């Protein structure tokens, strides 16, 4: 049985629509709803609900907490990988922080997010989440951004706002 730890931090992928205000907000994790949509053979996912923030509101202390929790998770036996749900706006900053804090993890650490919330039509959330879970089984140990059919290794990943995806830059 493969064991994955999923750390949720919020971001667009987990935003929910508030009918009273007409706004999209990070109020609580919706990852369990997403997990119910997946068929996972011989895979167990443990969820750590760390925070529920838009990544534009994250600061260095939040990134330190993410690195700390990811590092603690890596001490577990039989761990097959770590997936971190994160907002796309500052995902690259957190990925760089993880790479600096944990440059040689024993398993893949995969960050993913979505350009459109899971609750919206034409969302990339479930695709990116599914790819991230799958990536933990096939990638070598390291820190990655997985989205839109690609796995990009840190360092040197950034969000390309024009294309609405992530790209690798020379570092």
Classified as helix, coil or strand, 32 is helix
Query: Per-residue pLDDT averaged across 58-69, rounded?
Result: 97
Q: Which two tokens stand for residue 119?
A: 């609750």
Local confidence band at 15 (pLDDT 50, 70, 90 cut-offs): low
Q: What per-residue confidence (pLDDT) applies to 1?
A: 86
Decide which of 35 and 104 is more confident. Answer: 104
- Rounded to the nearest integer, the mean pLDDT of the chain is 88
CA 23 – CA 19 distance, rounded (Å): 7
Which uninterrupted H or E stretch holds 109?
Answer: strand 108-112
Q: Report percent pLDDT > 90 for the chain.
A: 61
Q: What per-residue confidence (pLDDT) applies to 125?
A: 86
Decide which of 78 and 151 is more confident. Answer: 151
- pLDDT for residue 19 is more than 70: no
Local confidence band at 35 (pLDDT 50, 70, 90 cut-offs): confident
Classified as helix, coil or strand, 116 is coil
Q: What per-residue confidence (pLDDT) applies to 25?
A: 67
Decide which of 14 and 142 is more confident. Answer: 142
Q: What per-residue confidence (pLDDT) applies to 38?
A: 85
Q: What per-residue confidence (pLDDT) applies to 109?
A: 98
Residues 70 and 30: beta-carbon distance below 8 Å: no
* DSSP assignment of 120-151: STT-SHHHHHHHHHHHHHHSPSEEEEEETTEE
* Of 59, 56, 38, residue with least CA distance to 47: 38
Local confidence band at 122 (pLDDT 50, 70, 90 cut-offs): confident
CA 62 – CA 58 distance, rounded (Å): 6
What are the boundaries of each domain within the chain?
2-168
The Cα angle at residue 91 between residues 50 and 127, in degrees rounded to 5: 85
CATH placement of domain 2-168: 3.40.50.1170
Decide which of 10 and 63 is more confident. Answer: 63
CA 139 – CA 81 distance, rounded (Å): 9
């Amino acid at each position: 049985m493969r064991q994955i730890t999923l750390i949720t931090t919020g971001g667009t992928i987990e935003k929910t629509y508030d009918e009273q205000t007409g706004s999209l907000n990070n109020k609580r994790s919706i990852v369990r709803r997403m997990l119910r949509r997946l068929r996972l053979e011989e895979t167990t996912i443990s969820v750590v609900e760390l925070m529920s923030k838009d990544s534009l509101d994250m600061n260095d202390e939040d990134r330190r907490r993410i690195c700390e929790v990811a590092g603690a998770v890596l001490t577990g036996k039989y761990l097959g990988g770590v997936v971190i749900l994160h907002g796309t706006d500052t995902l690259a900053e957190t990925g760089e922080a993880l790479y600096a804090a944990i440059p040689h993890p024993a398993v893949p650490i995969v960050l993913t997010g979505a350009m459109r919330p899971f609750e919206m039509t034409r969302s990339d959330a479930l695709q990116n989440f599914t790819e991230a879970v799958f990536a933990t089984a096939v990638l070598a140990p390291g820190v990655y951004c997985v989205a839109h059919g690609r796995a990009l290794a840190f360092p040197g990943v950034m969000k390309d706002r024009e294309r609405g995806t992530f790209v690798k830059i020379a570092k």
